[in-house]
Chains A and B, each alone.
Chain A
């Protein structure tokens, strides 16, 4: 089909008023009709709706279209929808191209409709230029290993594992700690029903452990993950417990003879455990562990264990390899522990504790036997202050809301009232009370009815009375409009929820990104809240952002269902946007080259001596780094070929190039960040002409040279943040190296350094993107057309020469 003359149909979407409210869609449509090879162009209200899609299918039939361009929203949102649509009409889905005129034009330039329309026209022109060169591609199929890995055994991970196991898939549940259970196993009661936390979680923990399809691998670390959707190879290290799991009956006789006590992390270090012990009575799996950091090797436990012979001091860490088709990440959160004396006297004053410490205090099985007492004198406090938003919603600490603190503070207030009634005064210091789920508002009312005093305002200071060890809480009471002081005997801080320790490591191993807040990023905040950008890896629970138990459980089940969409298939299709080597151009045949093999982040290329380089297609993730690095232009990335991108560049810079910023944006971070600038309606000047590549690693230096040869005012290459955010491991690093050399060269040739910019923008940095374009545009104006054109004139002959070897396509 590619041999045929292209017959392109352009469908311009109003998106209700989202596009048509700013952009003159009629004008864009008429303009599209004038573009080469466009044989049909229409506009419709909602192209993605059923009638809209019908129109595309009809258009393909009636006008015998062999390429389709939809000018609408971001391809990150609807490219799959329209690909499916054209496929239904018998067209190869890769003969489709999207022009993003919503996020990149109508939404970010609402006050300059004319310029927005102009920009939309050029974006369509770029899309048509690429569409003319599109080739049909066939999705690749890979076999699927019908097993799953669930990382993290909190309530979210447990539910995900159970659901998958029930569907009949084998599940490996890998937990870092000695027992599964997560934070829920540390809690006393749960809001809003106040049922005992371990009583409802315990049975689930046992269920998952007993399930014939689940294998729990606890006290283990994730070491590495290789492969791709359907075919992950996972390495896990089982840490030595010095107790042989199969022989341990969980009787605890060893613990009873062990002389050594050390702080129990599970009890927030408020109480102790023995050097051989389990973290809490309901631990699953029920296997004792010796902590060699504390053990004095008296071997009393060995004697006590006796004939069972479960204790083995010579155990070594063991590495195991698992093969799975899908991975669910459920690594939860950690609690913010204020640094010594830093916030409200925590660490300095002994009667200031965190919410999680309070849970352990009031829990009957906790270190004080369920008595809420003060550390300073062991007495029961007659007044307690519960301070909210400690570290959360604080631009100097953690900007986000930690979600569940309002509710657990209410819970603590009610619990105190239930336990001690009139004998305790409870004050809650809050900023806003967030109780917006089923039964939560009623819970709030219950607390008020029980006589809890609510004081609205941010606490400025907590000071200790050195004699009584009581605490004086200073707050600006918003209701009264003046500062007040309240003296209490115990202060409980509702501290922020943080991404769990080691999240950075996990994000690197799995190649999934984290937002500005450090929690793992979903693929799309609305439509793909459970998916990660990596196919086959899903998120569940608080690792994606603070959430309470019901929400974590639902997400666990959701992730199981998402994983099952892969596991239930024998084979999985992967996008054919892979790299292909043209053996006739590959230098490696004659000289030793292998640059591509060295630069590929996935080791997907082999370049044996004397032979052309070879791409192992199933391992190629399609970043295109090799295509940009290859000195002989022997590598092509399908769907992002040199010819296609050159066509986009030329289309973008056809008119008034010196007024424009040509931007190469990587799909996962900077393009998504730009999308976010659009969705958030951050306005910036309409100077940018964007070209989407999968990875910034794809940006060939020739692209930049060509842009300047054609007179571009500025060129921007935007990537994921260094060091670890790149979705292709290190594509951004390769780009950085390449561009640094290029920038030096261009400056030497007389280009003002401001005109070539490399920047890093995450999917969450919509503001930064808008600011960047605004700032660049200002610089562009500052430099002035004259100077730019003069520079260009000087540069052109050099660049002409440099690019002459490129085939003119």
Chain B
């Protein structure tokens, strides 16, 4: 059986596979979680991921991700960097991130502490606040059994609230923290930075960025139709910049990324690209492309 490279796509996912006799790899993009930001595209060391803008005349106007079956090396860097946990790498059916396993790429640190002792029975503010619907709140009795209808429970004293959060998929926007009336949630952003929108450049009536932003309260339209930025909840993913039709209207800079410690060239390069300005990132990417091209040419010459 010859080795096979496969690509398959449904409405929900895009999957690429490398199937060998004795080993099988897959990389799956969960399209429901993917917000089409630019992070994976930026960090992929082999330029295997690309944000594709829809061609003219295409039904949809939103961009999508494409993964190149031939370029992907199944290193898992995209899996490690995605703040929304939209990419998943499997080897022989098991979830692994080789670059993390071999410490050549860090993991993002999602610092989220929830003190559910403070939560009163009946409060679900955080559940409703979470834009990605990652929080579940349950009421349990002292034996840990879930209580469906707390109001009917005879002894309120014996009830407790548990809050669970799917950390893997959380970009740490901090909305829940701010909305929590009881100060029960404490978080630290994964990515820090600045974002500014130069509204003078915005075309009349455009709201692409507002629609693209995965966190509802970061970008809003004011009454006079201008975009207003609320830096507080921004996760600095860059989904807005992907859709913005005007070069330079959105300036986004990442200053700090919280991650587990590593000593790795791949991370240094990724960091350089992630934290530099857009132009600089382009420059760095094209330099890498030239390098690859050169080495291919050398081989073929």
Task: Classify chain B's interface size.
Answer: 20 to 34
CB <8 Å contact, B266 and A347: no
CB <8 Å contact, B22 and A270: yes
CA distance A337 to B1 in the complex (A): 10
1/0 per position for B167-181, CB-CB distance to A under 8 A?
000000000000000
Sample of 23 A–B contacts (CB below 8 Å): A257-B104, A259-B99, A259-B105, A263-B3, A270-B20, A270-B21, A271-B21, A271-B22, A271-B23, A272-B20, A296-B45, A296-B99, A296-B104, A296-B266, A297-B265, A298-B267, A300-B264, A347-B1, A353-B1, A367-B22, A368-B21, A375-B1, A375-B21
Residues on A with beta carbons closer than 8 Å to the beta carbon of B104? 257, 259, 296, 298, 300
CB <8 Å contact, B23 and A298: no
Residues on B with beta carbons closer than 8 Å to the beta carbon of A357? 1, 21
| Chain B residue with Cβ nearest A353 | B1
Residues on B with beta carbons closer than 8 Å to the beta carbon of A263? 3, 18, 20
Given contacts A257-B104, A272-B23, 14 further A-B contacts (CB under 8 A): A258-B102, A260-B73, A263-B18, A269-B21, A270-B1, A270-B22, A271-B20, A272-B20, A316-B298, A350-B1, A351-B1, A353-B1, A375-B1, A375-B21
CB <8 Å contact, B73 and A269: no
| Chain B residue with Cβ nearest A239 | B299
CB <8 Å contact, A269 and B20: yes
| Chain B residue with Cβ nearest A256 | B102
1/0 per position for B84-108, CB-CB distance to A under 8 A?
0000000000000011011111000
Query: Which A-B residue pairs are the 8 nearest by beta carbons?
Result: A299-B265, A298-B104, A270-B21, A298-B266, A367-B22, A259-B102, A296-B45, A269-B3
B53 at the interface (CB under 8 A from A): no
- Residue of A269, A270, A297, A316 near B45 (CB, 8 A) is A297
CB <8 Å contact, B75 and A259: yes
CB <8 Å contact, A317 and B298: yes
CB <8 Å contact, A347 and B2: yes
Residues on B with beta carbons closer than 8 Å to the beta carbon of A367? 20-23
**CB neighbors of A among B61-100 (8 A):** 73-77, 98-99
CA distance A375 to B20 in the complex (A): 8
A501 at the interface (CB under 8 A from B): no
Residues on A with beta carbons closer than 8 Å to the beta carbon of B45? 296-297
CA distance A302 to B21 in the complex (A): 31
B295 at the interface (CB under 8 A from A): yes
CA distance A317 to B21 in the complex (A): 33
Most chain-A Cβ atoms within 10 A of its Cβ — which of B22, B23, B77, B264? B22
- Residue of B21, B77, B296, B299 near A296 (CB, 8 A) is B77
**CB neighbors of A among B233-281 (8 A):** 263-267, 269
Cβ distance B282 to chain A, nearest Cβ, rounded Å: 19
CA distance A351 to B101 in the complex (A): 33
Residues on B with beta carbons closer than 8 Å to the beta carbon of A257? 102, 104
Cβ distance B34 to chain A, nearest Cβ, rounded Å: 22
CB <8 Å contact, B98 and A260: yes
CB <8 Å contact, A296 and B46: yes
CA distance A603 to B144 in the complex (A): 93
Cβ distance A270 to chain B, nearest Cβ, rounded Å: 4
| Chain B residue with Cβ nearest A263 | B3
CB <8 Å contact, B269 and A297: yes
CA distance A299 to B46 in the complex (A): 15
A294 at the interface (CB under 8 A from B): yes
1/0 per position for A329-342, CB-CB distance to B under 8 A?
00000000100100
A residues sitting closer than 8 Å to B (CB atoms) are 239, 257-263, 269-272, 275, 292-294, 296-300, 302-303, 316-317, 337, 340, 346-347, 349-353, 357, 361, 367-368, 375
Residues on A with beta carbons closer than 8 Å to the beta carbon of B18? 263
- Residue of B3, B101, B264 near A298 (CB, 8 A) is B264
CA distance A368 to B2 in the complex (A): 15
| Chain B residue with Cβ nearest A275 | B73
Residues on A with beta carbons closer than 8 Å to the beta carbon of B101? 259
Residues on B with beta carbons closer than 8 Å to the beta carbon of A351? 1
| Chain B residue with Cβ nearest A316 | B298
A259-B104, A300-B103 known; A337 vs B265 contact (CB < 8 Å): no
Most chain-B Cβ atoms within 10 A of its Cβ — which of A257, A262, A292? A292
Cβ distance A341 to chain B, nearest Cβ, rounded Å: 11
Residues on A with beta carbons closer than 8 Å to the beta carbon of B98? 259-261
CB <8 Å contact, A261 and B102: no
**CB neighbors of A among B132-159 (8 A):** none
CA distance A361 to B104 in the complex (A): 32
CB <8 Å contact, B2 and A346: yes
Residues on A with beta carbons closer than 8 Å to the beta carbon of B267? 298
CB <8 Å contact, B1 and A260: no
CB <8 Å contact, B1 and A298: no
CA distance A592 to B66 in the complex (A): 62
Most chain-B Cβ atoms within 10 A of its Cβ — which of A293, A294, A357? A293
Cβ distance B58 to chain A, nearest Cβ, rounded Å: 31
CA distance A260 to B20 in the complex (A): 15
Cβ distance A320 to chain B, nearest Cβ, rounded Å: 16
CB <8 Å contact, A368 and B102: no
CA distance A361 to B20 in the complex (A): 13
Residues on B with beta carbons closer than 8 Å to the beta carbon of A349? 1
A270-B20, A296-B45, A367-B22 known; A262 vs B73 contact (CB < 8 Å): yes
CA distance A551 to B59 in the complex (A): 66
Residues on A with beta carbons closer than 8 Å to the beta carbon of B266? 296-299
| Chain A residue with Cβ nearest B102 | A259
Residues on A with beta carbons closer than 8 Å to the beta carbon of B264? 298-300
Residues on B with beta carbons closer than 8 Å to the beta carbon of A340? 2
Cβ distance A105 to chain B, nearest Cβ, rounded Å: 52
Residues on B with beta carbons closer than 8 Å to the beta carbon of A368? 21-22
CB <8 Å contact, B75 and A296: yes
CA distance A260 to B265 in the complex (A): 14
CB <8 Å contact, A261 and B298: no
CA distance A294 to B264 in the complex (A): 16
Residues on A with beta carbons closer than 8 Å to the beta carbon of B102? 257-259, 298, 300
Residues on A with beta carbons closer than 8 Å to the beta carbon of B20? 263, 269-272, 367
Most chain-A Cβ atoms within 10 A of its Cβ — which of B2, B20, B23, B104? B2
1/0 per position for B21-49, CB-CB distance to A under 8 A?
11100000000000000000000011000
CA distance A10 to B287 in the complex (A): 77
Residues on B with beta carbons closer than 8 Å to the beta carbon of A298? 99, 102, 104-105, 264-267
Most chain-B Cβ atoms within 10 A of its Cβ — which of A272, A347, A352? A272
Residues on B with beta carbons closer than 8 Å to the beta carbon of A260? 73, 75, 98
Cβ distance A377 to chain B, nearest Cβ, rounded Å: 12
CA distance A373 to B260 in the complex (A): 41
Residues on A with beta carbons closer than 8 Å to the beta carbon of B76? 259
Residues on A with beta carbons closer than 8 Å to the beta carbon of B103? 300
Cβ distance B103 to chain A, nearest Cβ, rounded Å: 7
CA distance A240 to B22 in the complex (A): 29
Cβ distance A227 to chain B, nearest Cβ, rounded Å: 23
Cβ distance A189 to chain B, nearest Cβ, rounded Å: 20
Residues on A with beta carbons closer than 8 Å to the beta carbon of B263? 303
CA distance A298 to B76 in the complex (A): 13
Residues on A with beta carbons closer than 8 Å to the beta carbon of B269? 297
Cβ distance A360 to chain B, nearest Cβ, rounded Å: 8
Cβ distance B6 to chain A, nearest Cβ, rounded Å: 12
Cβ distance B228 to chain A, nearest Cβ, rounded Å: 40
Cβ distance A234 to chain B, nearest Cβ, rounded Å: 18
Cβ distance B284 to chain A, nearest Cβ, rounded Å: 13
Residues on A with beta carbons closer than 8 Å to the beta carbon of B295? 292-293
